[in-house]
Amino acid sequence: MIWNRLTQYREKIISYYQNGFRTNRGTIGDVHVLRQMIEQACEYNIQMDILLIDFKQALIVFIDTK
């Protein structure tokens, strides 16, 4: 009962674009888009800086395409 209330509240306040931890909202599409962006940046020799933060593990990964 409490979980259902919290889930309803969470769905109202978080952004539509936040995926992964939400029901029926995986990250496969997001990973695919990110991979395409990296490939295009490399193909056109455009600098692209990406910062990935894993809050659960408190790790920060920085990917530089140049």
Task: List pLDDT tens digits, range 27-44.
Answer: 888 889 999 999 999 999
Task: Tell me, yes or no, if the pTM score tops 0.85.
Answer: no
Q: What confidence score (pLDDT) does residue 65 get?
A: 64
Residue 64 has pLDDT above 90, yes or no: no
Q: What confidence score (pLDDT) does residue 56 get?
A: 65
How many beta carbons lie within 10 A of that of residue 8, not counting itself? 9
Cα–Cα distances (Å) from 54 to 1, 33, 60, in that order, read 29, 19, 6
* Structural contact between residues 62 and 49, judged by C-beta atoms closer than 8 angstroms: yes
How many beta carbons lie within 10 A of that of residue 21, not counting itself? 10
